[in-house]
Amino acid sequence: MKKIFLSIAVLGLALSSCDDFLTKDPLMNQTSDIALSTFEGIDDATEGNYLSVISWYGASFPLTFDVMCGNGMVGPVNTGRMRQEPAWNFTPTSELGLWASAYSAILNCNKVLAAINQNEFTRTSDVTEADINNVKAENLFLRALAYFDLVRVYAQPYGYIKEKGLTGVEAMGVPIITVEDITARPARNTVAEVYENLIIPDLEEAERLMDPSYERADVADRVATISTPVIQAMMARVYLEHEDFQLAADYATKVIKNGRFRLLSGNNFLSMWKGRDIAPWTGDEFIFEVYVAQSDGSSTALGTYLTAPEEIGGAGYGDVRMSNDLINLFDETDIRYTGLTKTNPRYPGYRWCTKYPGKTGGLQYNNVPVIRISEMYLIRSEAMLRGNAVVSGVSSPLDDLNRVATSRGASAYSTATVSNIFEERRKEFFFEGYVFFDMKRLQISLYREDYDLDETVRDVEFPSYRWALPIPENDVLNNSNMDQNPGYQQS
Amino acid sequence: MRKLTLLLCALIAGISVAMAQTSISGTVLSAENDEPIIGASILVKGTNASTITDTDGKFTVKIPDGAGRTLVISYIGMERQEAFARNGMVVKLNSADQALDDVVVVGYQTIRKEAKTGAIATVEGDDLAAIPETSVDRMLSGKMAGVSVSSTNGQPGATTEIRIRGTSSIGAGNEPLYVVDGIPVESGDVSALSNSMNAIALINPSDIASITVLKDAAAASIYGSRAANGVILITTKSGEAGKSKITARARYGISTLANDNNFEMANLEEYIQYQRDARINAGYDVDTPTSEYYFPKSLAAKGGTNWLKELTRTGNLQEYELIASGGSGKTTYYTSLSYNKTEGIVPNVGFEKMQVRANLDTELNKWLKIGTRLQGGYMKSSDVENSLLGGDGLAPSNPFYSGMALAPTMPAFNEDGSYNFDLPFVFNVNPLAAMRESDKYDKQYKFNGTAYLEWKPIKQLVFRTNNAIEFAYINSRQFSPAYVNQVDYGASLNTADVQYRLLTTSNTITYDDLFNDVHSVNVLLGQEANAYDYSFNQAISYHVNESRPYHGAGVAAEDQQANDGVTQTAMVSFFGVAEYSYDGRYYVKGSIRTDGSSKFGPDRRWGTFWAASASWNMHNEAFMQDIKDVLNVLKLRYSYGVNGNDNIASYAHYGLYADVVYNGVSGQVPAQLENRELTWETNKTHNIGVDFRLFDRLSGSIDWYTRRTEDMLIAAPLPYTTGFSSQAQNVGKIRNSGIEIQLDADIFNTNDFRWNAGVNFAANRSKVLELSEGQDFIGTSLRYVVGDQLYTYWLYDYVGVNPQNGNALWRNEDGLLTENAQEARRIRAGSPEPLWTGGFNTDLSWKGISLSIQLEARYGNKVVNSDRQLFESDGVYGDQNIWKGALNYWKEPGDTNVLPKPVYNNSSNSSQTSTRYLEDGSYLRIKDITLAYNLPSKWTQKALMSGVRIYASALNLYTFHNMNYFDPEHGTTGNTIISYPMTRSMIVGVDITF
């Protein structure tokens, strides 16, 4: 009988402690409700938001778009990767992946911005209003960057839409989402709306909020952080795309005049690409880069894809070689050709790009440049040429164009034309992910000589539906308000 | 209600008719040999009237007025039997030994088969041990109706997919619950670094007394929350008092790749021709030596490599066992020791296990019984670097990928005998070197221990407490020489330690009583709780010294990585079962269970599940007695019940941030969406069944069921614009209904010659009733479509080849032909679900010789043959080899019934996943044939042995199928690629009993 009482007692005890027993909180993660409840958490989440952009700056931007637009071709040795991309073989089910990555980054920024705006987080006494504003500016910048990249990839270019007066699905950008809502099934906003209601106001607010002396603390690579000139340089790029030529020139000038960045030449320029772990804070060309390091646990495909193995078992996949079309643009004296490309004794007749030579740990660790100072000069040149922008102290578009060309040891241009500026940008930024967007902005068709894949896409005229990539099938299927771009399987 | 009244009237009428007679005569025989039983006792149920049989086994008994007409016949050593009294009746008593066969373990209890109300299938341990497979799940294949065992690969020690009555869930687990000796155990894949380590493989098949599969809600509901996918109850053997027995077993076998359709890769000449044509079709010059694409026919002269042959070998398996059982007085024991080693058909792939078991039971006194079930063991799964499933199936060091993909023009060795590392197609990883020089294994050390105590204060009441510990430690190592790694990591070392612990307590009170000899009542109340704790830590080092490959201290941080993880879950349950039966004819049973799971949030954590069932043993009815010689058993069953499923990741309801590092600083990113409403997935099942036995020869069961899954736990897809691709939600409904038939016949049953055969058949039909609101389907190529069956293929509509130019032709949305692969429409193209599955087994024995045959079959399932797709991809993969069937390609205008022309580095998408690769996955497999000989006892007794059995088996002897691959099995959803193929084994063995 005693045993019965004992059993009942044990049972009773078990019952009362059930809820404790059944509560198993995750030990390896932080739950969302507490993650953003402190300023420290908000700051950590902001740091985390920087990481999101590796997913596209780590491969699709510098590699995929250059391979699509004639800068790269399938190498003589390869792993079968990067073979569909030169043939623009994108479908709603086999697409770029940027859409999902960018919207994930946007959500992450929206969550932090919401937490800041609600202002219910706890903070230590040393946290100032300026600290909060700086973090807010970083998130606004990252969100604008994600939208800018989305609208440049999944829509026709702003200038073309404006020029032709396009409406309907042809003028569609991407949905603007600024609050977290998993039930939202948004329709696409127009390209103009994405620029005018989100990207430009976000960047303007970021510039206004950020303390010009602000630098994110304790980081390994300071150039991989958002600071006032980074925001301004991005604004110059965005204004050019939005055809606010004077503003583009003004903001490029602000960055050039900042003094931190310098156009380099000769070995100074080349040593910049030698696989250094950390870019110098001043006196360098890099305005903003994405930091990729083994010690962070991050990696990028750029180095491995762009390098062929030099010996048996050597590193590198060799999937992407430089195309002859690109090689043929260079002067023999151009250090971008002599110093940033190389041959491989095992594969005579081919050249490989050495902008991503790998750093500590191997080929798959390379910082990825996002903005360099040379772009500011070329933006200004284009703004002056196309939009008659006025820049004090610079007499003509040719000045800025040649400043870049001659610093690289290339011969100077005699005139500044759209095609010269495009050619210079192509030589300057190969495998940095510019060429596709330059062609779209400048409405230049793609003609390829060095091409041996599907003949039907050897040439891609502008305009063509192909310049706006397909929306992932997932979002068309799961959101009845989402329109697919013309030209693709409509699901 | 009216029907019930009618039934009662009929019963009363039957009884009143019976009252007219008062004296009954009959005969009692032994069921074993039809000899009369002398001195058997005959009792009129509910009275004191009794008699015993005479020397001819005959009896006459007077039935008092007002008594029922049920006789209770009993004899020492024989099973007690009840029979309806009628003149000239013949009662056959079974020996008490056989009576053991008539009970069935149903979860917390053992019941007589007579009393079952739910859908239950049982297989005896001895039937299993005869199959030379290494794990229990594989042995169940083809054994029971509605229990489908699918393999995704044939690697030794690999797990299988078991589906009981179809697939019930999209997002939560579909595997059944395994309960060993009353305690739920860990199952599934517990590998750390190797491809596969089957948790239940440690259970020694010879130790199994019986396996019961609880299929419907009524049978399984006592396991409530965890029973949605059925329950597999494994009971291990106990000793028998007074019968000491020692058995030694040994077996040895060899295994080879099973390739019954002669799936072959192209040989050297065929490969060269294909590559030349592919290059020419791409516009390249193959005959000028300076051309980059120079590929002359003369390449053949240099000789070639049959890579698959180089990489495979004849495997072997060996197994040794020593079993001792017996007991004296109140204590019995069963103990076993076994060792098993399988060497795969690829060097360095293998599986090894050793285990020891001790099952002890003792009756301390009349009221107290205690016992333990202890098992300890070791399993080692060895693997080839980077191979096969789980990881990247197309890794260069996967011997089956490299074996098939590598160009036959490539030499495996240099002229000086060293490995050839000039193999750019596989990143210069010579698969032979990778296979032989790499070192990769999981070693699992495991203990399962259960101790129980049974207290029987009075005859009707039993308290039982059953407490168990299961823990495992897995030590894993993966060393890769520098040349195996594709990037410049140098030699690398990856080690992992995994440990888990599962504590279970299960406590029940059972009340069992019989009133007035006809009212039987059984009530069980219970409580169960378990706590699971899992952790792992892992270290990876690069640039390790190849001659001393260990993690060294002081290596640069970039060269070392460490990871760890912790997972905990807990569950608490309370349950009750009540059963009432009347006179061995009518049974009703109800059960209820409430479970709390840590996997759901505080407000949604408890789920209550229940079931009700009834059965009617018609053969015990008066009106059936006249035909009882023909229809020995006829039982009708019906059940309905609700079960739950919480088989999802541990912390699915939390919104989570995960730690990351960026730019040398730690940060955090959202990792999972919160869903506070997340709760149990439920399964509601109706089951109608009939059990019968005819002419004492043919017995069988037929069941019809329909099972509805509601509130499915799905990673419901979200548009990416939400920032996530999915959220764990309770949405949607699916239905599985089907029919199961199981028949067993004793065709001949004489002393010298016995022949029995069994067949089982199951057909399941699934239907997706509902997905998330507004959602018509999930998936791309393999879809869940509302209104259609669970899995359907939606593939690009491939039509054939344009005879003019050799390009692939597709049909677009408008039904028109196009050569543009991007315009191809998707069409519904069949399902990987079989229309029916079945099994057949037969045993023939004549004197000491016996032959047993087992077949299994699956019919009507489609498979997208991604293995063929890989090797018939029209040149997409450049220099990769092709299978022989790919040689039938377009060569000149006018060619029809051909494959598209190959183009070197093809970018036309002609090989996209389309109807072109859809094949019929039906098969009939000769699973096992065993020929055995029991040496005559007059010989063995001279050697002090009580029995010697020698046998030879062929496992997976032959498979009839139409797939263009080694084996038709491609898993439940038909989606495997380049996995370790199935093997055929030839085995000889000997069992000696002392």
Pick the residue from chain B with its C-alpha nearest to A147. B721
- Asked if A72 contacts A86 with a C-beta cutoff of 8 angstroms, the reply is yes
> Which chain A residues touch B570 with a CB distance below 8 Å?
21-22, 24
Closest-CA distance of chain A to residue B539, Å:
13
Over residues B656-668, the pLDDT tens digits come to 898 889 998 999 9
Return the number of other C-beta atoms located less than 10 Å from residue B16's C-beta. Answer: 9
3-state secondary structure of B685: strand
Over residues B627-646, the pLDDT tens digits come to 888 888 899 999 998 888 88
Contacts across the A-B interface (CB distance below 8 Å):
253
Task: Name the B residues in 440-479 with CB < 8 Å from any A CB.
Answer: 455, 463
Which H or E element spans position B547? none
Residue A246 to residue B378: CA distance in whole angstroms: 75
Q: Is B538 left (phi over 0), alpha (psi -120 to 50) or beta?
A: beta
Q: Which of B584, B491, B473 shows the shortest CA–CA distance to B69?
A: B584
Q: Averaged over B661-677, what is the pLDDT?
A: 89
Residue B44 to residue A473: CA distance in whole angstroms: 76
Q: Hey, are the CB atoms on A24 and B569 less than 8 Å from each other? A: yes
Percent of chain B with pLDDT over 70: 92
Task: Name the B residues in 901-960 with CB < 8 Å from any A CB.
Answer: 905, 907-909
Residue B747 to residue B845: CA distance in whole angstroms: 12
SS3 content of chain A, % helix, strand, coil (to 5): 50, 5, 45
Residue B381 to residue B379: CA distance in whole angstroms: 7
Residue B284 to residue B280: CA distance in whole angstroms: 5
CA-to-CA dists, residue B716 to A430, B149, B603, B636, B787, angstroms: 41, 28, 21, 41, 18
Residue B78 to residue B85: CA distance in whole angstroms: 19
* A181: CB partners within 8 A, 6+ apart: B722
Q: Hey, are the CB atoms on A104 and B723 less than 8 Å from each other? A: yes
Pick the residue from chain B with its C-alpha nearest to A470. B822
Quick one: pLDDT at residue B15? 40
> Which chain A residues touch B873 with a CB distance below 8 Å?
none
Q: Hey, are the CB atoms on B488 and A84 less than 8 Å from each other? A: no
Q: Which of B911, B912, B907, B991 shows the shortest CA–CA distance to B946?
A: B991
Closest-CA distance of chain A to residue B415, Å:
16
Quick one: pLDDT at residue B789? 92
Which H or E element spans position B802? none
Tokens 């096969």: give the residue.
B388
Q: Which two tokens stand for residue B307?
A: 């890579």
Nearest residue, CB atoms, B488 vs list A216, A363, A454: A363
- B/e letters for B966-975, b = 16+ CB within 10 Å, e = fewer, are bbbbbbbbbe
Residue A342 to residue A73: CA distance in whole angstroms: 15
B747 pLDDT higher than 80: yes
A13 pLDDT higher than 70: no
Pick the residue from chain A with its C-alpha nearest to B558. A295
Residue B819 to residue A407: CA distance in whole angstroms: 49
Q: Averaged over A269-297, what is the pLDDT?
A: 90
Helices (H) and strands (E) in chain A, counts: 22, 7
Q: Hey, are the CB atoms on B663 and A50 less than 8 Å from each other? A: yes
Pick the residue from chain B with its C-alpha nearest to A348. B292
Q: Hey, are the CB atoms on B602 and A19 less than 8 Å from each other? A: yes
Q: Hey, are the CB atoms on A32 and B670 less than 8 Å from each other? A: yes
A249 pLDDT higher than 70: yes
Q: Which two tokens stand for residue A162?
A: 């404006």
A77 pLDDT higher than 90: no
Q: Which of A407, A401, A404 shows the shortest CA–CA distance to A419?
A: A401
Q: Which amino acid is at B283?
A: G
Q: Which of A181-185, B302-306, B530-534, B969-973 has the lowest mean pLDDT?
A: B969-973
* Host domain of residue A443: 30-477
Q: Which of A487, A466, A457 shows the shortest CA–CA distance to A86?
A: A457
Q: Which of A27, A32, A82 to mutate to test the interface with B (most CBs of B within 10 A)?
A: A32
Q: Hey, are the CB atoms on B662 and A182 less than 8 Å from each other? A: no
Q: Hey, are the CB atoms on A50 and B507 less than 8 Å from each other? A: no
Tokens 């970083």: give the residue.
A138
ipTM of the complex, rounded to two decimals: 0.93
Nearest residue, CB atoms, A87 vs list B489, B667, B907: B907
3-state secondary structure of A144: helix
- Asked if B120 contacts B106 with a C-beta cutoff of 8 angstroms, the reply is yes
The domains spanning B21-94 and B101-236 adopt the same CATH topology: no
Closest-CA distance of chain B to residue A133, Å:
18
Residue A66 to residue A319: CA distance in whole angstroms: 13
On whether any CB of chain A is under 8 Å from the CB of B670, the answer is yes
Residue B609 to residue B590: CA distance in whole angstroms: 11
Closest-CA distance of chain B to residue A294, Å:
6
Over residues A292-326, the pLDDT tens digits come to 998 888 888 899 899 987 776 677 888 899 999 99
Q: Hey, are the CB atoms on A317 and B651 less than 8 Å from each other? A: no
On whether any CB of chain A is under 8 Å from the CB of B4, the answer is no
Q: Hey, are the CB atoms on B662 and A482 less than 8 Å from each other? A: no
Residue B195 to residue A130: CA distance in whole angstroms: 53
Pick the residue from chain B with its C-alpha nearest to A1. B457
3-state secondary structure of A252: helix
Q: Which of B394, B150, B383 shows the shortest CA–CA distance to B977?
A: B394
> Which chain B residues touch A33 with a CB distance below 8 Å?
655
User: What CATH number has the domain bearing residue A443?
Assistant: 1.25.40.390
Q: What is the DSSP letter of B958?
A: E
DSSP string of A18-49, one letter each residue: HHHHT----SSSEEHHHHTSBHHHHHHHHHHH
Pick the residue from chain A with its C-alpha nearest to B877. A80
Give me the CATH code for the B21-94 domain, please.
2.60.40.1120
On whether any CB of chain A is under 8 Å from the CB of B562, the answer is no
On whether any CB of chain A is under 8 Å from the CB of B411, the answer is no
Give me the CATH code for the B101-236 domain, please.
2.170.130.10
On whether any CB of chain A is under 8 Å from the CB of B602, the answer is yes
Which H or E element spans position B401? helix B399-405
Over residues B870-923, the pLDDT tens digits come to 999 998 888 889 999 999 999 999 998 999 999 988 888 899 899 999 999 999
Q: Hey, are the CB atoms on A182 and B673 less than 8 Å from each other? A: yes
Q: Which two tokens stand for residue B794?
A: 């939606």
Nearest residue, CB atoms, B566 vs list A19, A27, A185: A27
On whether any CB of chain A is under 8 Å from the CB of B570, the answer is yes
Q: Which of A158, A67, A240, A153 shows the shortest CA–CA distance to A443?
A: A158
Q: Hey, are the CB atoms on A293 and B664 less than 8 Å from each other? A: yes
Q: Which two tokens stand for residue B341?
A: 């080693």
> Which chain A residues touch B486 with a CB distance below 8 Å?
317
Nearest residue, CB atoms, B660 vs list A48, A216, A361: A48
Which H or E element spans position B857? strand B849-859
- Asked if A429 contacts A375 with a C-beta cutoff of 8 angstroms, the reply is yes
CA-to-CA dists, residue A39 to A123, A128, A131, A135, B656, angstroms: 5, 10, 10, 10, 18
Over residues A381-395, the pLDDT tens digits come to 999 999 999 999 988
Half-sphere exposure of B763 (CA within 13 A, CB side): 6
Task: Name the B residues in 244-283 with CB < 8 Å from any A CB.
Answer: 282-283
Q: Which of A110-124, A458-472, B41-55 has the lowest mean pLDDT?
A: B41-55
> Which chain B residues touch A26 with a CB distance below 8 Å?
650-651, 654, 656
Q: Indicate if the alpha-carbon torsion angle A288, A294, A300, A301 is positive or negative.
A: positive
3-state secondary structure of A65: helix
3-state secondary structure of B828: strand
Confirm whether A19 is domain-assigned: no
Pick the residue from chain A with its C-alpha nearest to B527. A11
Quick one: pLDDT at residue B488? 62
Q: What is the DSSP letter of A8?
A: H
- B/e letters for B414-424, b = 16+ CB within 10 Å, e = fewer, are eeeeebbbebb
Closest-CA distance of chain A to residue B234, Å:
28
Residue B926 to residue B984: CA distance in whole angstroms: 10
Residue B577 to residue B575: CA distance in whole angstroms: 7
Residue A26 to residue A41: CA distance in whole angstroms: 17
CA-to-CA dists, residue A486 to A186, A464, A489, B104, angstroms: 19, 10, 9, 65
> Which chain A residues touch B671 with a CB distance below 8 Å?
29
- Asked if A146 contacts A53 with a C-beta cutoff of 8 angstroms, the reply is yes
Nearest residue, CB atoms, A362 vs list B489, B673, B813: B489
Q: What is the DSSP letter of B763?
A: E
Q: Which two tokens stand for residue A196?
A: 């005018």
B10 pLDDT higher than 50: no
Confirm whether A362 is domain-assigned: yes
Residue B571 to residue B566: CA distance in whole angstroms: 17
Closest-CA distance of chain A to residue B561, Å:
8
Q: What is the DSSP letter of B78?
A: B
> Which chain A residues touch B571 with a CB distance below 8 Å?
22
Q: Which of B975, B978, B982 shows the shortest CA–CA distance to B923?
A: B982
Q: Indicate if the alpha-carbon torsion angle B160, B166, B171, B176 is positive or negative.
A: negative
Over residues B228-243, the pLDDT tens digits come to 788 888 888 888 877 7
Residue B539 to residue B485: CA distance in whole angstroms: 17
* B717: CB partners within 8 A, 6+ apart: A474, A477, A478, B725, B726, B772, B775, B778
Strands B231-236 and B177-180 come out as parallel
Task: Name the B residues in 624-663 with CB < 8 Å from any A CB.
Answer: 650-651, 654-663
Confidence of residue B554 (pLDDT cuts 50, 70, 90): low
First to last CA, chain A: 71
Return the number of other C-beta atoms located less than 10 Å from residue B13's C-beta. Answer: 12
Strand partners, A284: A261
Q: Hey, are the CB atoms on B668 and A185 less than 8 Å from each other? A: no
Number of domains in chain A: 1
- Asked if B608 contacts B593 with a C-beta cutoff of 8 angstroms, the reply is yes
Q: Averaged over B963-988, what is the pLDDT?
A: 84
Instruction: Give, in degrees to the nearest 5, the angle at Cα B607 between B605 and B608.
Output: 155
Nearest residue, CB atoms, A364 vs list B463, B487, B651: B487
Over residues A367-376, the pLDDT tens digits come to 999 999 999 9
Instruction: Give, in degrees to the nearest 5, the angle at Cα B489 between B487 and B492.
Output: 125
Strand partners, B534: B500, B567
- Domain boundaries in chain B? 21-94, 101-236, 247-262+837-865+915-994
> Which chain B residues touch A218 with a CB distance below 8 Å?
664-665
Pick the residue from chain A with its C-alpha nearest to B543. A361
**Maximum alpha-carbon separation in chain A:** 107
Percent of chain B with pLDDT over 90: 31
Chain-centroid distance, C-alpha A377: 20
